[in-house]
Structure 1
Amino acid sequence: MSQHPLKLPDFRLLFLGRTVSALGDAVVPAALAIAVTRATGSSAALALVLGCAMVPRLVLLPFGGVAGDRFNPRVVALTTDLVRAAAQLLVGLELLGGRPSLALIAVAEAVGGTASAFAMPTATPLVAATVQGEQRLRANALISSTMAAARLGGPALAGVLVYTAGPGWAFVLDAASFVFSAALLTRLTVRHQPGERRSLRRDLTEGWREVRSRDWYWTSLFAHGAWNGAAAVLLTLGPLIATTRLGGDGVWVAFTQAGAAGVLCGSLLAGRVRPRRPVLVANLGLALYALPLLALAVAAPAAITVGAYAVAMTGLGFLNPVWQTVVQQEFPAGVLARVTSYDWLLSLAAAPLGYVLAPLAAEAWGAGVPLLAAAALVALACAGTAAVPGVRRLGRPDPAAAPAPRPETEPERERKRPPAGV
């Protein structure tokens, strides 16, 4: 029997660090919303702060992927943890001071967003470097389950901190979690084989070439982007519908908690169920997101709507570890960070579009129209990947198989690679 991932010292360190930092991150959104609205009384101010974090993250993600492949991902992750710790500590101290500056908070969140653009692409290479073969799916499922559990308990912890000690302490806690994660990363052993020195443009181009050379990958990315756009529509219009037509604020709280529980169940399920066509099954699971969109569009009873969201988010929880495992198996280690950065970029870029278009469409035609349109889009985009030959053919990863190398061009064959390093 193969060894459990948590018995591997390096993965155990990585898992512990990710767990603690995920809990710290889960506390921040609610605390940030309360802190900014308390200080300014303006939803526009909150939107500004959130935008300052989101924009640099989206713009710099491809460059973060290049950094994760050029340098040791452990070093990149450690550095970004320290930067994010400093940014969150600054926000925490500013809030604890009693007269917070919106400009300073916005700048600190922009710094944190920039660091996260370089941190996010390192997650997949680090798991791939610390866990080998058939245990990768279980390792990814463990991390996804822990992150889902953090999202489930994070808002409650945020509420306790905000109403007992103040929102500033939530940011201090998050900063401490990043410092703890960085300390564990200093003990991690990750071998890194640097490639030849190339221009930034060539690195970006090579990463994109790897993406579009696999039809199962790039078509799935567009489907995942459609899912995120649909999720933005739901999160924009859902709270008002829940409050005014389904029974009040408590329904929306139950809705979000059911979603977090669904993600947790899906992540646990992914560690036990191993379908023969993992990407196909996972993408079909994402198509279930049409259910809560339809339920909200017709103002179905609260119990049905909440249940539909739990089922839909179970699909997301199942996809995340399965997808990460397949990517780690199918792509060469030297491009994992770059292809992961394009994954994040295409997935996240659709969300702002949903946030902008949903209220405009709802104002013009009523909330049902954008919700029904989002339901149709996510169902067609995710289930439609079944028509892609690569999605249908891609089977369960073979633990003994190594990723197939990308075909080299003639000039590339002539060049020599440097020796392996650490």
Structure 2
Amino acid sequence: MPLPRPRTHPLLRNRSFRLLFLGRTLSLAGDAVIPAALALAVLRATGSTSALALVLGCAMGPRLLLLPLGGVVADRFDARTVALLTDLVRAATQLFVGVELLGGEPRLWHIAAAEAIGGAASAFAMPTLPRLLTATVAEKDRHGANSLIGVVRSGTALAGPALAGLLIATAGPGWAFVVDAASFTVSACLLAAVRVTYATPAGPRHSLAKDLVEGWQEVRRRDWYWTSLVAHAAWNGAAAVLMTLGPALAVTELGGEEVWIGILQAGAVGLLLGSLLAGRARPRRPILTANLGLATYALPLALLAAEAPAPAVIAAYGLALAGLGFLSPVWETSVQAAIPAAVLARVTSYDWLLSMAAMPLGYVLAPLMAGAWGTGPPLWIAAAVVAAACAGTAAVPGVRRFALPGATPRPLTRGATPVPPP
């Protein structure tokens, strides 16, 4: 009796999306492996946490500074070409780091410079995905496509550090970066075969400054968008506080290193489950629902501040990361439906910029506040900020009224019918 053929997801029968999906999977896997591999490799080579901070800062700084410019480039030019070139640049930088480590006498400034170039390439790569997805997937299928990519993003976040550790333990740090370079190279080859349905936006070319201002104006004119960005920035800042103070509290107050590992594992599982849930759910008010889900991040912060038992903190962190996993596909589908394609990459770049910029602030403030007042106050403050910012978006009319095309949300008040924002 012949075995049944495995079922293929309907969206993966679309050749262009299948190639894009496989390419982005490899690219996301590469991005997930780099931080853990870099940390282990630099510490093994130098034994210095200051050296690690320098290299990580070199990777993060150019990414933050160049994100708005990356959005302009992705809107002005063919997003597929931009993504392909940035994959090749990242392949070259990771290969360079791998060869440097394999040589036996790695020079710190060489690694830092390579990671700075790789970080800059990431700034140009990140805004391309929404444009690529809208150019390969019909509007009715975009929620499912975003959910698939969200599951992959969650899965790579879960598996990336473990894969980095396995590669370094079995083959050595150098080969971990060589394999990472290969993943970006294959991703570029897959992108080269993707067929897109859009053309480079027509119309008069503006100055760089005008393009940047135009993108920011598109953000400001939608109250549901910019208020949600404030909430997302607050979430990332609060996450940085937890990531800074949580490990020490887990080790000293909750039972040891295995508790912190358990917290991280619960978060990774929650992230994956939230992404899977987003693929099935069709909330009537997607922005409101997703932002309220983000507000649950206040729970693990408050429980850590209250020195609650480890199982409670672990469960709360899993729930909070499920909220993040649910938000990502829902948010991306909503943005792709509401933002004009000609400015989509620029608008997305501001989203990434505000979200990522809040994290260094949290990393800086958390130890300063803990040194002055103890660990409790910064955790309580972070919990209050993230709860107020995320749940507070419910007071914004555009957030409450936002509905995807074709959705039929119930009226918010008698006689009022929510409509999609422009």
Q: Does 2:131 match 1:125?
A: yes
For residues 372-392 of structure 1, the C-alpha deviation after alignment (integer angstroms, 9 at most, x for no partner) is 100000000000000000000
For residues 371-416 of structure 1, the C-alpha deviation after alignment (integer angstroms, 9 at most, x for no partner) is 11000000000000000000000013338xxx9997xxxxxxxxxx
Q: Does 2:269 match 1:261?
A: yes
Report the Cα distance in structure 2 between the residues aligned to 1:137 and 1:147, rounded to whole angstroms. 15
Q: Does 2:331 match 1:331?
A: no
Counterpart of 1:362 in structure 2: which amino acid? Answer: A
The match for 1:219 is 227
- Do the aligned residues in 1 keep the contact of 2:167 with 2:175 (CA within 8 Å)? yes
Q: Kindly state the Cα deviation for residue 27 of structure 1 after the two structures are TM-superposed.
A: 2.0
For residues 183-224 of structure 1, the C-alpha deviation after alignment (integer angstroms, 9 at most, x for no partner) is 011111122232321111111111111110100000000110
SS in 2 for 1:271: helix
Report the Cα distance in structure 2 between the residues aligned to 1:202 and 1:273, rounded to whole angstroms. 39
The match for 1:183 is 189
Counterpart of 1:102 in structure 2: which amino acid? Answer: L
- Do the aligned residues in 2 keep the contact of 1:275 with 1:396 (CA within 8 Å)? no
Counterpart of 2:327 in structure 1: which amino acid? Answer: L
The match for 1:103 is 109
Within 5 Å, give how 1:51-90 maps onto structure 2. Answer: 51-90=57-96
Q: Kindly state the Cα deviation for residue 307 of structure 1 after the two structures are TM-superposed.
A: 0.6
SS in 1 for 2:281: coil
The match for 2:414 is none
Q: Does 2:163 match 1:157?
A: yes
Report the Cα distance in structure 2 between the residues aligned to 1:98 and 1:397, rounded to whole angstroms. 57
For residues 232-290 of structure 1, the C-alpha deviation after alignment (integer angstroms, 9 at most, x for no partner) is 00000001011111111111111111111111101100010110000000000000000
Q: Does 2:406 match 1:398?
A: yes
Q: CA RMSD in A?
A: 1.5
SS in 2 for 1:208: helix
Q: Which moved more, 1:188-197 or 1:55-64?
A: 188-197
Counterpart of 1:64 in structure 2: which amino acid? Answer: G
The match for 1:352 is 360
Structure 1: which 5+ residue stretches go unaligned? 407-422
Shift in alpha-carbon separation, 1:22–1:352, aligned structure 2, 3 A: same
Name which of 194, 214, 218 aligns with 2:201.
194
Q: Which moved more, 1:152-161 or 1:323-332?
A: 152-161
Name which of 15, 33, 37 aligns with 1:27.
33
Q: Which moved more, 1:15-24 or 1:287-296?
A: 15-24
Within 5 Å, give how 1:357-368 maps onto structure 2. Answer: 357-368=365-376
The match for 2:329 is 321
SS in 2 for 1:282: helix
- Do the aligned residues in 1 keep the contact of 2:402 with 2:420 (CA within 8 Å)? no
Shift in alpha-carbon separation, 1:215–1:373, aligned structure 2, 3 A: same
- Do the aligned residues in 2 keep the contact of 1:26 with 1:154 (CA within 8 Å)? yes
Shift in alpha-carbon separation, 1:397–1:46, aligned structure 2, 3 A: farther
SS in 1 for 2:280: coil
SS in 2 for 1:315: helix
Report the Cα distance in structure 2 between the residues aligned to 1:68 and 1:333, rounded to whole angstroms. 11
Name which of 28, 37, 44 aligns with 2:43.
37
- Do the aligned residues in 2 keep the contact of 1:326 with 1:397 (CA within 8 Å)? no
TM-score of the two chains, using structure 1 as the length reference: 0.93
Report the Cα distance in structure 2 between the residues aligned to 1:188 and 1:11, rounded to whole angstroms. 8
Counterpart of 2:398 in structure 1: which amino acid? Answer: G
Q: Kindly state the Cα deviation for residue 21 of structure 1 after the two structures are TM-superposed.
A: 2.0
Report the Cα distance in structure 2 between the residues aligned to 1:99 and 1:221, rounded to whole angstroms. 44
The match for 1:304 is 312
Report the Cα distance in structure 1 between the residues aligned to 2:375 and 2:250, rounded to whole angstroms. 12
Identity %: 66
The match for 2:5 is none
Moved over 4 A (4+): 403-406
- Do the aligned residues in 2 keep the contact of 1:4 with 1:135 (CA within 8 Å)? no
The match for 1:374 is 382
Report the Cα distance in structure 1 between the residues aligned to 2:390 and 2:127, rounded to whole angstroms. 23
- Do the aligned residues in 1 keep the contact of 2:402 with 2:421 (CA within 8 Å)? no
The total of aligned residue pairs comes to: 401
SS in 2 for 1:305: helix
The match for 1:137 is 143
Q: Does 2:291 match 1:283?
A: yes
Report the Cα distance in structure 2 between the residues aligned to 1:211 and 1:398, rounded to whole angstroms. 23
The match for 2:97 is 91
- Do the aligned residues in 2 keep the contact of 1:237 with 1:358 (CA within 8 Å)? yes
Q: Kindly state the Cα deviation for residue 159 of structure 1 after the two structures are TM-superposed.
A: 1.7
Report the Cα distance in structure 1 between the residues aligned to 2:268 and 2:420, rounded to whole angstroms. 36
